[in-house]
Amino acid sequence: MKKSEWSDRELEELLMQMPKIKDHRDPRDIYQNLSLNKRKTKTWLLPGLAAVAALLLFFILVPKMNDGTNFSFDTAQEEKSSGNSQAMKAAEKDSTIAMKDQASTPNKSVSETNDKKMELMSAASIKTAVYEDEVGDRTVLTYWIPDSQAQILVPVSIIVPAEKDKSWLTLFVDNMANLKEEEWGLSDYYPLKLSMNIDEKTNSVDVVVPDDHKYGQGSAEETSFIKTLNNDVSSNSTIKKLNFFTNNEKGIEFGNEGRVKNHDIIDVKKHAFFFHFPEGSNLPFLAPSIDAYSDIQSAFADMETNNPTYKLTSSLEHLQPLTDVTVNDKTLFVSFKSIIDMKDDQFTLASFEALLLTAKQFGLEKVVVKDSQLTHLGPFDLTKETKVPVAPNLRDIQ
Residues near other proteins (CB under 8 A): 1-6, 8, 11-12, 14-23, 25, 27-28, 30-31, 33-34, 37-38
Question: Which residue number, 18 or 177, has a Cβ lying nearer to other proteins?
Answer: 18
Question: Which residue number, 14 or 121, has a Cβ lying nearer to other proteins?
Answer: 14
Q: Phi, psi at residue 328, to the nearest 5°? A: -130, 120
Question: Which residue number, 12 or 115, has a Cβ lying nearer to other proteins?
Answer: 12
**H helical segments located in 218-294:** 219-236
Which residues are paired to 276 by β-bridges? 285
CA 303 – CA 355 distance, rounded (Å):
9
Question: Which residue number, 7 or 72, has a Cβ lying nearer to other proteins?
Answer: 7
Q: Phi, psi at residue 172, to the nearest 5°? A: -60, -45
Question: Which residue number, 12 or 112, has a Cβ lying nearer to other proteins?
Answer: 12
Question: Which residue number, 14 or 60, has a Cβ lying nearer to other proteins?
Answer: 14
Question: Which residue number, 16 or 110, has a Cβ lying nearer to other proteins?
Answer: 16
Q: Phi, psi at residue 160, to the nearest 5°? A: -125, 150
Q: Tell me how far, at minimum, the Cβ of 89 lies from other proteins, in Å.
A: 54
Q: Tell me how far, at minimum, the Cβ of 71 lies from other proteins, in Å.
A: 45
Angle between helical axes of 27-43 and 45-69 (0-180°, round to 10): 40
CA 104 – CA 107 distance, rounded (Å):
10
**H helical segments located in the chain:** 8-16, 27-43, 45-69, 71-103, 110-122, 132-135, 168-175, 181-184, 219-236, 296-303, 346-361
CA 115 – CA 122 distance, rounded (Å):
10
Which residues are paired to 264 by β-bridges? 241
Q: Tell me how far, at minimum, the Cβ of 36 lies from other proteins, in Å.
A: 9
With beta carbons less than 8 A apart as the criterion, state whether 190 and 177 touch. yes
Which residues are paired to 198 by β-bridges? 205
Q: Tell me how far, at minimum, the Cβ of 49 lies from other proteins, in Å.
A: 24
Question: Which residue number, 20 or 201, has a Cβ lying nearer to other proteins?
Answer: 20
Between the CA of residue 264 and those of 205, 229, 234, what are the distances in Å? 10, 11, 10
Q: Tell me how far, at minimum, the Cβ of 39 lies from other proteins, in Å.
A: 11
Q: Tell me how far, at minimum, the Cβ of 21 lies from other proteins, in Å.
A: 5
Q: Are strands 241-246 and 204-209 parallel, antiparallel or unpaired?
A: parallel
Q: Tell me how far, at minimum, the Cβ of 20 lies from other proteins, in Å.
A: 6
Which residue, among 309, 318, 316, has the nearest Cα to 290 in the 3D structure?
309
Q: Tell me how far, at minimum, the Cβ of 48 lies from other proteins, in Å.
A: 20
Question: Which residue number, 30 or 56, has a Cβ lying nearer to other proteins?
Answer: 30
CA 48 – CA 50 distance, rounded (Å):
5
Question: CB count, 10 Å around CB of 358?
Answer: 29
Q: Tell me how far, at minimum, the Cβ of 29 lies from other proteins, in Å.
A: 10
Residue type, 14: L
Question: Which residue number, 23 or 211, has a Cβ lying nearer to other proteins?
Answer: 23
Q: Tell me how far, at minimum, the Cβ of 45 lies from other proteins, in Å.
A: 18
Which residue, among 269, 180, 216, has the nearest Cα to 207 in the 3D structure?
216
Tally the residues of the chain.
398
